[in-house]
Chain A
Amino acid sequence: MLVPEAVLDRAHEDVHKTQPWNNPDAVPYIRFENVTKKFGDFYAVDDVSLDIYRHELFALLGGSGCGKTTLLRMLAGFEEPTSGKIYIDGVNMAGVPAYERPTNMMFQSYALFPHMNVEQNVAFGLHQDGLPKSEIRTLVSDMLALVQMTKFTKRKPHQLSGGQRQRVALARSLVKNPKVLLLDEPLGALDKKLREQTQFELVNIQEKVGTTFVMVTHDQEEAMTMASRIAVMNEGVINQTGTPFELYEYPNSRYTANFLGQVNLVEGVLIDDDEKYAVIKSDEGGCEIYIDHAVQGHRGMTFWAALRPERLRLTKEPPEDTKYNCVSGKVEEIGYLGGISTYHVRLASGKRIKVTEPNSTRQIEPRYTWEDPVWVSWEAGAASVLNK
């Protein structure tokens, strides 16, 4: 893909390498300071503090009504916080109207102006800045080249497909070279196949232009594919912030563990702990769970072991050592997805455990069938321990 000079910010570094969020001296580019937003009595955003760094592709992830969109709209200037402060590039945004903010937004509905063609839509923001016509023309055609829409400059929005509209919306918000580009469910209106393809394109464009992206999504896969870091939100509060890897491997709560990927949560009580290991006895799981690291807490405290389905092993025979980390049950549901199979195993306690297994070799016939008695087991390091 050709990248026009005008939109290239050569100085930008790769945030994945520099990881400014781990550097206490790094200055955040966007800062939310104890931001609260109330609609009547309802707290849409409740005392949120968050730092986002330059060149990040940051995702706000959560279900509907979790406050992610409100947070984005406060950044854009469509809503004012009830209390708290928002800084962009060191400037307090309080009282700065949307049309003076260094942000541009790509709307969920794209909000393309139906009475203007593609070119006019993209040029709209530049005209507001009073740029000379020749400069506008160059910027617009460069931007349309970047999003591969050069062929459609004279089309009206209703003559475009969903994917093309999405590109025009991106071009229109990016052409003003904002300090921060805000994306509200950028791929929400596209079908699955196009969405996957566009995810990578969007990341590529972001890496090339270097603009800081803040995006809102309810799709954990989208967030994990695209984002440098993710903030998982729930009920107006940020549950956890981290890289996709950190969130998946080290969730801090059942909510995060559940929201990112699939997980079996097994409740239990700490019965033995040491500097090097811990043991949780779970009635729900019907087994004792051995953890290969210390956990913070005391004996008798309730914990949840989070077991990812792909890290569980399914066998017909019991494993050699049945003392820890294994439990027997019956296959209740089978989902054959081709590349992998998912099994729901009913334990003696009534708890259902989900196991996924890759079908890495060709099978003559299905490995398990309904009602098969099976053993589920896992490595000592497979479970993460959660206390909330």
Chain B
Amino acid sequence: MTSDTPEKSLSLKQRFDRWMIKHGRVLVIGIPYIWLFLFFLVPFLIVLKISFAMAEYAQPPYSSLFDWIEEGVTVTLNFGNYLFLLSDSLYATAYLNSIRIAAISTVITLLIGYPMAYGIARARGSVRSILLMLVILPFWTSFLIRVYAWIGILDREGLINAFLLWTGIITEPLIMRQTEGAVFVGIVYTYLPFMILPLYSTLEKMDVSLIEAALDLGCKPWKAFLKVTLPLSMPGVLAGSLLVFIPSVGEFVIPELLGGPNTLMIGRTLWNEFFANRDWPIASAVAIAMLVFLVVPIMWFQHTQSKQEERQS
């Protein structure tokens, strides 16, 4: 057991422990990276490759980039798919619409999520864990079922209409499903926990005496919130907003099930290209373009943010 035990008398377990102490760190970090490499980076590169190919009636339905001619390899890159995205205004409209819907949804989610997160963070210990549990609870049911449930609520013959007709407030059923409003409801409902959890974790960590100090120095409670709580919770606001905004832009299921035929979003366009038109190269180009438009600005933003923090410390 002691360190001067000769190497030979080590049991298998001791050898394993020593090996783990030496290499465990690499192992722990390595496994998720290998996972990400295999299931994120490789598929991404495949999609990138397809986006430079041409559609063909073949299996797979796109041309190969590499041609083996005699001793050499020729690479044929087809930028036509990207040019096509620019030439047809459908794509630009779908992109902008997606970003608009995602942005509005994010703001609504923030407005609803912030007070909830604040309430949870300030609740007493036992109540707090129950509230957190309630926030996470919907995840235990399938996402698809939950969105279907909203159809039942918002439909022409749905719960809300039935209730309003019964009370006599309306005589004609309201059209709520298959509108953009229904898409907002769906996105906000689905992504609310992703806003609440990061907000909760920043608010919960915040020292209550900071707010007391603001009150003590003459701030009314709402002003103390604006000047102290809000600025200090910005990392949570940012994290939550990104977690809601990014997946909302590419959202397919919600606009498909709740939105109308006019709710044009990039996720649906993608679906149509892949499965209706079977034009994989265009679909891949749409996907790559979306990534570039979304991820690059966000990465740049985070980069400058971390640089700024470095400069401060």
Q: Interface of A with B (CB < 8 Å)?
A: 76-78, 97-100, 103-105, 107-109, 111-115, 124-125, 128-129, 156, 158-159, 172-173, 176
How long is the Cα–Cα vector from A169 to B285 in the complex, in angstroms? 57
Query: Which residue among A77, A99, A107, A112 has the maximum number of chain B CB atoms within 10 Å of its CB?
Result: A99
For the complex formed, measure the closest distance between the CB of B277 and the CB atoms of chain A, giving whole angstroms.
Answer: 51
Contact yes or no, A99 B219, CB < 8 A: yes
* B231 cross-chain contacts in A, Cβ below 8 A: 115
Contact yes or no, B216 A99, CB < 8 A: yes
Asked if A105 meets B218 with Cβ closer than 8 Å, knowing A114-B232, A156-B312, A159-B313, the reply is no
- Of all chain B residues, the one with the shortest Cβ separation from A172 is B217
How long is the Cα–Cα vector from A112 to B214 in the complex, in angstroms? 10
How long is the Cα–Cα vector from A118 to B228 in the complex, in angstroms? 15
Q: Confirm or deny: B77 has a beta carbon within 8 angstroms of a beta carbon on chain A.
A: no
Q: Confirm or deny: B67 has a beta carbon within 8 angstroms of a beta carbon on chain A.
A: no
Contact yes or no, A124 B313, CB < 8 A: no
How long is the Cα–Cα vector from A124 to B226 in the complex, in angstroms? 13
Q: Interface of B with A (CB < 8 Å)?
A: 207, 209-210, 212-221, 223, 227-228, 231-232, 312-313
CB within 8 Å: A-B pair count: 64
* A107 cross-chain contacts in B, Cβ below 8 A: 209, 212-213
Contact yes or no, A78 B223, CB < 8 A: no
Contact yes or no, A111 B212, CB < 8 A: yes
Contact yes or no, A99 B213, CB < 8 A: no
Contact yes or no, A99 B228, CB < 8 A: no
How long is the Cα–Cα vector from A100 to B217 in the complex, in angstroms? 9
Asked if A111 meets B215 with Cβ closer than 8 Å, knowing A158-B313, A159-B313, the reply is no
* A104 cross-chain contacts in B, Cβ below 8 A: 216-217
How long is the Cα–Cα vector from A124 to B215 in the complex, in angstroms? 11
How long is the Cα–Cα vector from A317 to B209 in the complex, in angstroms? 60
Asked if A98 meets B210 with Cβ closer than 8 Å, knowing A115-B231, A158-B313, the reply is no
* B227 cross-chain contacts in A, Cβ below 8 A: 124
* B232 cross-chain contacts in A, Cβ below 8 A: 113-115
- Of all chain A residues, the one with the shortest Cβ separation from B216 is A105
Query: 5 closest A-B pairs (Cβ-Cβ)?
Result: A125-B217, A128-B218, A111-B213, A111-B209, A98-B215
Contact of B219 among A108, A114, A128 (CB under 8 A): A128
Contact of B223 among A77, A98, A128, A172 (CB under 8 A): A128
Contact yes or no, B207 A109, CB < 8 A: yes
* B312 cross-chain contacts in A, Cβ below 8 A: 156
Contact yes or no, B219 A113, CB < 8 A: no
* B213 cross-chain contacts in A, Cβ below 8 A: 105, 107, 111-113
Contact yes or no, B214 A124, CB < 8 A: yes
* B217 cross-chain contacts in A, Cβ below 8 A: 99, 104, 124-125, 128, 172-173, 176
- Of all chain A residues, the one with the shortest Cβ separation from B228 is A113
For the complex formed, measure the closest distance between the CB of B221 and the CB atoms of chain A, giving whole angstroms.
Answer: 8
* A113 cross-chain contacts in B, Cβ below 8 A: 210, 213-214, 228, 232
How long is the Cα–Cα vector from A103 to B217 in the complex, in angstroms? 9
Contact of A109 among B209, B214, B223 (CB under 8 A): B209
* A111 cross-chain contacts in B, Cβ below 8 A: 207, 209-210, 212-213
For the complex formed, measure the closest distance between the CB of B230 and the CB atoms of chain A, giving whole angstroms.
Answer: 10
- Of all chain A residues, the one with the shortest Cβ separation from B232 is A115
How long is the Cα–Cα vector from A100 to B214 in the complex, in angstroms? 12
Contact yes or no, B207 A99, CB < 8 A: no
For the complex formed, measure the closest distance between the CB of B154 and the CB atoms of chain A, giving whole angstroms.
Answer: 42
A–B complex contacts, Cβ < 8 Å, 16 sampled: A76-B212, A77-B215, A99-B218, A100-B218, A105-B212, A107-B213, A108-B209, A111-B207, A111-B213, A114-B232, A128-B217, A128-B218, A159-B313, A172-B217, A173-B217, A176-B218
Query: Which residue among A77, A115, A128, A172 has the maximum number of chain B CB atoms within 10 Å of its CB?
Result: A128
How long is the Cα–Cα vector from A258 to B232 in the complex, in angstroms? 45
For the complex formed, measure the closest distance between the CB of B80 and the CB atoms of chain A, giving whole angstroms.
Answer: 50
Given contacts A98-B216, A99-B218, 14 further A-B contacts (CB under 8 A): A98-B212, A99-B216, A99-B217, A99-B221, A100-B218, A104-B216, A104-B217, A107-B209, A107-B212, A112-B213, A114-B232, A128-B217, A128-B218, A158-B313
How long is the Cα–Cα vector from A111 to B228 in the complex, in angstroms? 11
For the complex formed, measure the closest distance between the CB of B115 and the CB atoms of chain A, giving whole angstroms.
Answer: 21
For the complex formed, measure the closest distance between the CB of A185 and the CB atoms of chain B, giving whole angstroms.
Answer: 12
How long is the Cα–Cα vector from A329 to B215 in the complex, in angstroms? 60
Asked if A78 meets B207 with Cβ closer than 8 Å, knowing A128-B223, A159-B313, the reply is no
How long is the Cα–Cα vector from A99 to B222 in the complex, in angstroms? 12
